[in-house]
Chains A and B, each alone.
Chain A
Amino acid sequence: MSVTGAREEALASGPGAAPASGAPIRQSNLWKDAWGRYVRNKAAAIAGAVFVVVLLYCLIAPFASPHDPDAVNFALASQTPSLEHPFGTDKFGRDLFTRTALGGRVSMLIGFGATLAILLVGVIYGAISGFIGGRVDNGLMRFLDALYGLPYLPFAIITLAIIGRTNTWTMMIALSIASWFTTARIVRGQVLTLKENDYVRAAKAVGARWYRILGRHLLPNTLGVLIIAIFLELPGVILGEAFLSFIGLGISPPDASWGAMAQEGRTVFRSHPTAIIVPSVAIATLVLCANFVADGLRDALDPRTRET
């Protein structure tokens, strides 16, 4: 169909049908194509840049800063931002600029770590369920339905209680255990759709082994969805960690994550709101960026909006 024909039909009648996600994707063009579309989306591009800036800040600032993040000095407590302390100081007199960066490291470590764990578990579970199909799939999905019934935070809290300790790694585990379900569902859905496509049938027809089909055909096409899933799960995990720390069940001092810092700041916020605002804004920024990036990625990779 000509470019004009496609455009005219699309404008006249709208994309009502299901996306042609089954068409074999020419790998090289897909990524180049997607990257081009991604950067043209201004919001997503800016968000991506900010994301990188925040990452760099968290990595570099503690090295560059002259202040000792753990040094308690009540004389300097609760100061508003100044040149010396760009974010001010907390109630213990510690420089917030440095601490926020450190906190960011922890929060993001937990965030990315948990997200990766979620992906791992989710992909395996979803791929197996979708690929095998039939009764097994049914059963696995029903079990998933049951798991959905467990509310997120309490589940994470209980997991933490079981493990017994709250440090970076346990938080990662707890949060990922509580939130892998959605990813599993998405992956399973993708696998189911792709499984029925002709080129997979063709592969089966020539006798390809199941792991080859899975690895060569199904997973690469799920890659796009997975990348998007990363940026969709990340905010949830970061917020989850923040909430847990805020309630007091998270990282214990003197280590800090943004949530823990917010919790410390809560007690003094009437007189000194900076201490709670700074880490909260940091969280919000990261989450916001992740959302925009996810949206941008989704638009860039969506086969439906891809013409010619």
Chain B
Amino acid sequence: MLKFIVRRVFWTIPVLLVVIFLTFIMMRQIGGNPFRQSERAVPEAVQRNLEAKFHVNDPWYQQYAYYVKGVFTFDLGPSLVVRGRDVNDIVKTHFPKSIELGVYAFLFALVLGVPLGMIAALRHNTWVDYSAMFVSNVFHAVPSFLVATLLIYFVALKAGWVPTSGWTSWEHKILPSIALGFGPMALFARLVRGTMLETLQQDYVRTARAKGLRYRRVVGLHVLRNSLIPVVTAAGPLLGFIITGSFVIELIFNIPGIGQNYVDSISNRDYSVVMGLTVLLSVIVILANLVVDILYGILDPRTRDARS
């Protein structure tokens, strides 16, 4: 078991390096020497110093090496446009809020979606099943900004129950989390229902019933455990979706997360910020996938032995 975990962790490192590399190359394509492009006139001497300090004129592979070193020592470099701010600062002030939003949305999706899917599967082909699935499909298709605007319109504006923007008290946090979590919730519901239906047909479920086990145990242990495996696999990419979907939600609800920063930085050619944020996001996605893989290994013992 431990060997399995170590192996999986080991493999994420090259993946990480490749990701950083890709981002790095892409960023360089956007091109230009940001120092020269900024509106602030910088004296020539200072400019040269800055360039030397940030290795701007070094060959690309050296820049890459410096950058990787920076990533692993948690130094993502300074912002190239906003004087006096490090990427790390930006990250520290804004990132946690985005993560918080993402986590709440994920929890909402999980807590509501999984039971919904289970009920639909257990009441297969009844009106419960049909309506649950119809609702799920609709929620899955509707873009989150529509959900957000509708929620704001009805719940915040008309009913006045919660504020319409900001991110300070818990009341602020409900609507954005729900808006972001709707799509994933629908996904979970459909997924769980699908896998449960399939699992319920399996021979080993019949064996479990033939042993006289109480139905609750049959479903709760045998069926659920095996049904959740594909759900766990989907959870990884879902996290990626939530993170990227948060940009839009942050915009609508005026949440000071990294979304706005990201977009602005691109327009400003503040490429160290963009790069830093992208790498950070990638790291999170990769880590999420890692956790998912490990969870998968825990749930399905067959994969532990089969992996190369």
Contacts and interface: CB of A to CB of B under 8 A. Distances in A.
Query: Do A and B touch directly, given a CB cutoff of 8 Å in the complex?
Result: yes
Name the prevailing secondary structure of the B interface residues. helix
A150 interface: yes
B247 A158 contact: no
A228 interface: no
Nearest to B282: A149
A126 to B, nearest CB: 18
Q: How large is the interface on B (under 10, 10 to 19, 20 to 34, 35 or more residues)?
A: 35 or more
Given A243-B143, A243-B248, A143 B18 contact: yes
Contacts of B291: none
Interface in B221-269: 237, 240-241, 243-245, 247-248, 251-252, 259, 262-263, 266
Interface string B280-298: 0110011001000000000
Ranked 5 nearest A-B pairs via Cβ: A14-B201, A280-B146, A153-B244, A288-B141, A146-B18
Given A162-B26, A243-B248, A280-B149, A13 B141 contact: no
Interface in B144-161: 145-146, 149-150, 153, 157
Q: How large is the interface on A (under 10, 10 to 19, 20 to 34, 35 or more residues)?
A: 35 or more
B26 A273 contact: no
Interface string A3-15: 0000000000111
Interface in B1-39: 14-16, 18-19, 22-23, 26-27, 29-30
Nearest to A290: B141
B263 A247 contact: yes
Nearest to B12: A149
Contact of A13 (B16, B203, B237, B263): B203
A149 B141 contact: no
B245 A243 contact: yes
A11 B146 CA distance: 43
Contacts of B141: 235, 284-285, 287-288, 291
Interface in A227-269: 235, 239, 242-243, 246-249, 262, 266, 269
Contacts of B201: 14-16
Given A16-B203, A149-B289, A284-B141, A276 B26 contact: no
Given A153-B244, A243-B245, 10 more contacts: A15-B201, A16-B202, A146-B15, A147-B22, A148-B285, A151-B240, A153-B245, A157-B262, A158-B23, A161-B30
B138 interface: yes
A149 B240 CA distance: 9
Contact of B137 (A158, A246, A291): A291
A164 B18 CA distance: 24
| Interface-centre pick from A145, A149, A161, A239 (highest chain B CB count, 10 A) | A149
B173 interface: no
Given A14-B201, A148-B289, A149-B16, A246 B145 contact: yes
B63 interface: no
B61 to A, nearest CB: 18
B88 interface: no
B206 A146 contact: no
Contacts of A262: 143, 145-146
Contacts of A284: 138, 141-143, 146
Given A162-B30, A288-B137, A266 B252 contact: yes
B274 interface: yes
B140 interface: yes
29 contacts: A14-B203, A15-B201, A16-B201, A142-B14, A142-B15, A146-B15, A146-B22, A148-B285, A148-B289, A149-B19, A149-B286, A150-B282, A154-B277, A161-B30, A162-B29, A243-B248, A247-B248, A247-B259, A266-B252, A270-B153, A273-B149, A280-B143, A283-B142, A283-B146, A284-B146, A285-B141, A288-B138, A288-B141, A288-B142
A269 B143 contact: no
Nearest to A17: B203
Interface of A: 13-16, 142-143, 145-154, 157-159, 161-162, 235, 239, 242-243, 246-249, 262, 266, 269-270, 273, 276-277, 280-281, 283-285, 287-288, 291-292
Contacts of A288: 137-138, 141-142
B203 A249 contact: no
A7 to B, nearest CB: 14
A143 B206 CA distance: 42
A150 B23 contact: yes
B251 A152 contact: no
Nearest to A248: B263
Given A146-B15, A148-B289, A266 B23 contact: no
Nearest to B205: A14
A143 B281 CA distance: 18
A279 to B, nearest CB: 9
B266 A161 contact: yes
Contacts of A246: 145, 248, 251
Nearest to B18: A146
A224 to B, nearest CB: 19
A158 B248 contact: no
Nearest to B283: A149
A280 B237 CA distance: 24
Contacts of B149: 266, 269, 273, 276-277, 280
